[in-house]
Structure 1
Amino acid sequence: MKIDLTSKTAVVTGSTAGIGHAIARGLAEAGATVVVNGRKPEAVDAAVEAIRAAVPGADLRGVAADLGTAEGAKALVAAVPAPDILVNNVGIFGPQDFFEIPDEEWTRFFEVNVMSGVRLSRAYAEGMAERGWGRIVFLSSESGLNIPADMIHYGFTKTAALSISRGLAKRLAGTGVTVNAVLPGPTLSEGVAEMLKDEVAKTGHTLEEAGAAFVKANRPTSIIQRAATVEEVANMVVYACSKQASATTGAALRVDGGVVDTIA
C-alpha cells in the first residue's frame, strides 16, 4: 500500500515533539503539506527544521498558537483556513491524586485536551464536507477506556475525545469526511521519557528497558509487553488520514499493544 497525500494540507496540533511530531513527519513523508503547531515559536521552528532535514523537499509551515484557549484556536484557523486533514493531537497529562486536583486543573485539562479539538473541528469540518473530502483524527488513549486511578482528570478527557469523534462521524455521514479516534497505549514520547528518567538513572537501563518494565508493572495486560514507539502510533494516524481509509470512520483505532483486554 502506497499512501499518497500529495495536494492535501494537514494540520497537526501539538506537533513540536512526541507523537504529534512523528505524525507530522509521517504525513510529510506521504506528500502532504504539513502545518506544525506548538505554543512557542522557537519550538515550532525547530520542529519544522527537524522534519525538513528528515524529509528532504517536504512542504512545511509552522504556526505558533496556544490551543488551550479560544483565541489560540482562532489564530490557527486564521493562519490555515481550509486544511484537508486535521489531527487533534495536542494534549497534556500527569499523575495527580483525585482529592488534590483543583477545579482550575480540571478546566485546564478540558480546555487543552477536549476543547482544542472541538473548536478546530467545528471550524474546519464544514469546509471539508463542502469540498467532499476530509480527514479528522482525535488522539484519544487507552486511558479513555481503562481510566487510571492516578490520572482521572486525564482519562475523562480521552473518553470525551472518543465520544466527540464518534458523534461527529455520524454528523458528517455521507459527506466524504471521515472522523476517527486513535488510542495509543504507553508510548516512548518525550513526556514518558521525562517520567522515566529517574528510573533510567537509578538502574542504568535503557529507556526502552525502563519503558518495558513500566508497562509490565503498570499495564500488565499489555500483549506486546513494552511501550510503543511514536512512529508506531503515527503509522496508524497516517493510515486514518489516507485515501485508502475511506471506509473507516466513527472508529476507535487502538495502538495500545493490547492493554485494553477486550475483543471489540
Structure 2
Amino acid sequence: MNLDLTGRRALVTGSTGGIGYAIAEALAELGATVAVNGRTPARVEEAIGRLSGAMPAGRFEGAPGDVATAEGAEALVSGLGPVDILVNNAGIFEPKPFFEIPDGDWQRLFDVNVMSGVRLSRALTPGMVERGWGRVVFISSESAVNIPLEMIHYGMTKTAQLAVARGLAETVAGSGVTVNSVLPGPTLSEGVETFLRQMAGDRPDADLEALGKAFVAEHRPSSIIGRLASVEEVASLVAYVCSPAASATTGAALRVEGGLLRSII
C-alpha cells in the first residue's frame, strides 16, 4: 500500500492543537512537509516546537493567519508556495439552546467552519488541478447528519461542508484531485475537554474518560464503541485519504464516529 507523501506539501488549518495537530503529525510521518496554521504566530511557533521535538525528522513550516476572514485567508495563501494537500480542519463549536442563538453566533460559526474551507479551496485547488494531483479534505462531523439539539448552528455548518465537498469533487472530476469529507464523532480534543467540563458544571477534578463515556451514553447512545475517539484515530483516516492509496476515493463522506450513525451506508 502506497502511503508515501514524500515531496508533497500540506496545509492543515487549525493545527496548533486537537485533531488538526494530530493530522499535521500523521501527514509528516508519511513524509509530507506540513504548514501548521493557527491564528497567531506565537501559537504556531509553539506547536511547531512540540511537533519538531516529537518528530526530529519531520518537516514543518509556519502558516499563521485567521482563516475565518477573507483578509486572513488571502494573506495566508499569499505566503504559501504550491500546496498539494489541503485539510480544512479549522472549526469552532459551542453548546447553546436554539432560541438563545443570536444572528451573530450563526454567522461566526459559518465563517469559521464553512467559509474558511470555501476560500482556501477556491484559492489552492486550481493549482492542484494544473499539476494533476491533489487532496482536499473537509473535517466535518457526525453532527452533519445527526444534528445535535445542544448546538444546532454547529450541525448546520457541518452539513454545509458536506455539500461544498461533494460539489467541489464533481467540479474537479478526472483531474487527479480528490475531495472528501471526514466525519469524526465525539473526539477527545482540547475543545471537547472544555465542552465536557462545562456540561459537567466546570468540575476540574472530574475524570475525563468517565465524563466522555457519560456524555456518549446520554447524548450519543447509538455509539458502538461507547466512548470518545482519540485525535490519533481521526488523524489516521485523514492521512490515508490524503495518500496515493486513496486515489479512487472522492466525493465521499467518510465516517470515523464510532458507529453512532445508525446507517449501513
TM-score normalised by the chain length of structure 2: 0.96
Q: Does structure 1 residue 257 correspond to structure 2 residue 258?
A: yes
CA contact (8 A) 1:181 1:251 kept: yes
Paired letter, 1:71: E
Q: Which residue of 2 aligns with 1:206?
A: 207
The change in CA–CA distance for 1:21 and 1:203 in structure 2 (over 3 A counts) is closer
8 Å contact 1:70–1:119 — kept in the other structure? yes
Counterpart mapping for 1:143-182 below 5 A: 143-182=143-182
CA contact (8 A) 1:200 1:206 kept: no
Structure 1 residue 67 corresponds to structure 2 residue 67: yes
Q: After superposition, give the CA deviation of every residue in 1:193-219 in whole Å (9 maximum; x if it has no partner).
A: 112236498596532222111111110
The answer as to whether partners of 1:200 and 1:210 remain within 8 angstroms in 2 is: no
1:122 maps to 122
> For the Cα contact (< 8 Å) 2:2–2:244, is it kept in 1?
no
How many residues align? The count is 264
- 1:219 equivalent to 2:220? Answer yes
Distance 1:203 1:93 in 2: 20
Unmatched 5+ stretches in structure 1 = none
Superimposed CA distance per residue, residues 79-124 of structure 1 (whole angstroms, 9 cap, x where no aligned partner): 1142000000000001111111111111111111000000000001
Tell me the alpha carbon deviations over residues 166-220 of structure 1, each in whole angstroms, 9 at most, x when there is no partner. Answer: 1110111000000000000000000111122364985965322221111111100
CA-CA distance at 1:13 after TM superposition: 0.1
Letter in 1 for 2:6: T
Q: Tell me if the contact between 1:81 and 1:124 (Cα under 8 Å) persists in the aligned partners.
A: no
Q: In structure 1, the residue corresponding to 2:183 is in which secondary structure? A: strand
Q: Is residue 50 of structure 2 the alignment partner of residue 50 of structure 1?
A: yes
What is the rounded CA distance, in whole Å, between the counterparts of 2:79 and 2:237 in structure 1? Answer: 27
Once the two structures are aligned, what percentage of the paired residues are identical? 60
Q: Which runs of structure 2 are paired with 1:16-95 in the superposition (5 Å)?
A: 16-95=16-95
1:253 partner letter: L
Distance 2:48 2:42 in 1: 10
The equivalent of 1:97 in structure 2 is 97
Contact kept in structure 2, 1:37 and 1:44, CA below 8 Å: yes
When residues 102 and 247 of structure 1 are mapped into structure 2, their CA distance, relative to the original with a 3 A threshold, is same
Partner of 1:4: 4
Q: Once the two structures are superposed, what CA deviation does each residue of 1:233-256 show, in whole Å capped at 9, x if it has no partner?
A: 000100010000000000000000
Is 1:15 the counterpart of 2:18? The answer is no
SS at match of 1:38: coil
Residue 173 of structure 1 aligns with an amino acid whose one-letter code is A
Asked whether the equivalents of residues 197 and 204 of structure 2 are also in contact (C-alpha less than 8 Å), the reply is no
- Counterpart check, 1:194 vs 2:194: yes
> What is the TM-score when the length of structure 1 is the normalising length?
0.97
Residues 100 and 203 of structure 1, relative CA distance in 2, 3 Å threshold: closer
Once residues 156 and 209 of structure 1 are traced to their aligned partners in structure 2, the CA distance between those partners, rounded to angstroms, is 29
Superposed CA RMSD = 1.5
